[in-house]
Homo-oligomer: A and B are copies of this chain.
Amino acid sequence: MPKTVNWQEQMQSVVGAKGFTSAADDMSPWLTDWRGRYTGAAAAMISPGSTQETAEILKIANENSVAIVPQGGNSGMVGGATPDDSGQSILLSLRRMNRIRAIESGDQLVLCEAGVILQNLHEALADEGQRFPLTLGGKGSATVGGLISTNAGGTQVLRHGTMRALVAGIEAVLPDGTILEGLAALKKDNRGYDLKQLLIGGEGTLGVVTAATLRTVPALIDRCVAWIAVDSTDAAYRLFQFLNRRTPQSLEGFEIIPETCLDSVLRHIPGTRPPLTGAHRWNILVELVRDQADAQDPRTVAEALLAEALELGLIEDATLAASEQQAEDFWKIRDSISEAERAGGPALQHDISVPVPKMARFINEASPVIEAKFPGTKVAAFGHMGDGNVHLHVKAPPGVQPLEWMRDYGNRITPLVHDLVIAAGGSISAEHGIGQNKRAELERLSSPGRLAMMRAIKTAIDPKNIMNPGKLVPLASGHSGS
């Protein structure tokens, strides 16, 4: 009589000892999301070393109806890579698949595995005079696979788009273990449904991205960072239109920072200084770059355009970073806002977008509505105004108990924010995704047609719901993942 081999043993035999662990100490760093809001449990953590091994693991999982939770750098914002607490899932780490297979500078492509860490990709490309034009706070841990599965954004979307625009080809494993091979970078391919688009931003619910061909751009020659004061969100938007029309090929950043956020940073973050004198209701951080030898010096361009903007009455004041160090200092102010706001007291954070032309009005109109409905709260909206994406923080009234306030008001304030966003034709998730965090809100605020289509796709491609169950798709009741 043949010895019965259970599915865990089968999986272990696929990946070998170095790809399998069920020891609590090995797994625990990866079972809580980095913001500490979700903690789960897993039967084992499996780290395949190849696409083929990943395919065999999924085949076994599918045959045995075992849930698979793919994970890259575990730096997501919505609990999308944290398993539930049943302890029945497999945490599938892609971190061992971290080879950059080929850099093709002449064709501006790089072929890499899912586990490549963003910062390593940046460094490898810099050696070749190339650049992968997407960056974000978690670049030291975020992986290519995670960035693709969450359609990551960051601070360079304005010119280069989100991850979706940078993926030229994908290799993935479908829930039944089939390998979907699509790494060839075809500029034109009209063979029906563009399947890779479903995996980009699919949060691992339709399969596992194992490798990708990404587009690169030339390394930067130089940049000019400007700090600009404007008197209203409308002026900010007019400035954006002005710069975008005049320098569409070099405008890489347009971030809005309200006075309150700047004050918060200056108060809580050591070593920060105000870029401009005087008080200004709104600040804009602009980055102009040059990556072509025969393009104009971005500093010259910035000086001319800002002089013109001042003359046109679009801006109140402006200063250009005099050195790379000062450019870094300006960006540090922008990048420290979340930390500074946290130091200032509890806040509910919302990653939302509206069409770019509607952002000025949205900030103006939504803020007083929220503050009026929840007396004592203060709204701060900052971030990627050029993308129509702000991070909208609702700060607690002074003196409240943080945990209590978050618990009591989270479920009241966030739905209001989201209702306002939907009314403005926007999205309740601009760049962070849905994960566990926003699934109920996605269900509440999606049209029946959209929900039905998402459910139909999920159920068709992953009928046993083994891929990252409980994330993203609010399945109809009766499904295990709902």
- Chain A residues within 8 Å of B, Cβ to Cβ: 104, 106-107, 150-151, 153, 157, 162, 164-165, 174, 178-182, 184-195, 197-198, 200-203, 206, 218, 241, 245-246, 248-249, 292, 294, 296, 353-357, 384, 387-389, 425-434, 442, 446-450, 452-454, 456-457, 459-461, 472-473
| Contact, CB under 8 Å: B187 / A353 | yes
Distance, CA A198 to CA B206, complexed state (A): 15
Distance, CA A180 to CA B194, complexed state (A): 19
| Contact, CB under 8 Å: A454 / B180 | no
Shortest CB–CB separation between residue A350 and chain B, in angstroms? 13
Interface centre among A162, A194, A296, A442 (most CB of B within 10 A): A194
Shortest CB–CB separation between residue A206 and chain B, in angstroms? 8
Distance, CA A182 to CA B218, complexed state (A): 34
Partner of A191, one of B164, B246, B442, B453: B442
| Contact, CB under 8 Å: A164 / B198 | no
Q: A188-B388, A190-B431 are in contact. Are A449 and B174 (CB under 8 A)?
A: yes
- Looking across the interface, which residue of chain B has its beta carbon closest to that of A173? B449
How many copies of this chain sit in the oligomeric assembly? 2
Interface centre among A186, A189, A193, A218 (most CB of B within 10 A): A193
7 A-B pairs within 8 Å (CB atoms) are namely A190-B430, A190-B434, A191-B442, A192-B434, A194-B200, A195-B454, A457-B461
Q: Which residues of B contact A425 (CB under 8 A)?
A: 184, 186
| Contact, CB under 8 Å: A356 / B187 | yes
Q: Which residues of B contact A245 (CB under 8 A)?
A: 106, 218
Q: Which residues of B contact A206 (CB under 8 A)?
A: 193
Distance, CA A236 to CA B190, complexed state (A): 25
| Contact, CB under 8 Å: B190 / A449 | no
Shortest CB–CB separation between residue A396 and chain B, in angstroms? 27
| Contact, CB under 8 Å: A178 / B452 | yes
Distance, CA A453 to CA B203, complexed state (A): 17
| Contact, CB under 8 Å: A186 / B354 | yes
| Contact, CB under 8 Å: B190 / A429 | yes
Q: A184-B355, A186-B353, A248-B292 are in contact. Are A191 and B427 (CB under 8 A)?
A: yes
| Contact, CB under 8 Å: B449 / A456 | no
| Contact, CB under 8 Å: B189 / A429 | yes
- Looking across the interface, which residue of chain B has its beta carbon closest to that of A207? B453
Q: Which residues of B contact A446 (CB under 8 A)?
A: 191
Shortest CB–CB separation between residue A130 and chain B, in angstroms? 11
| Contact, CB under 8 Å: B197 / A454 | no
Distance, CA A457 to CA B458, complexed state (A): 9
- Looking across the interface, which residue of chain B has its beta carbon closest to that of A164? B194
Distance, CA A47 to CA B426, complexed state (A): 32
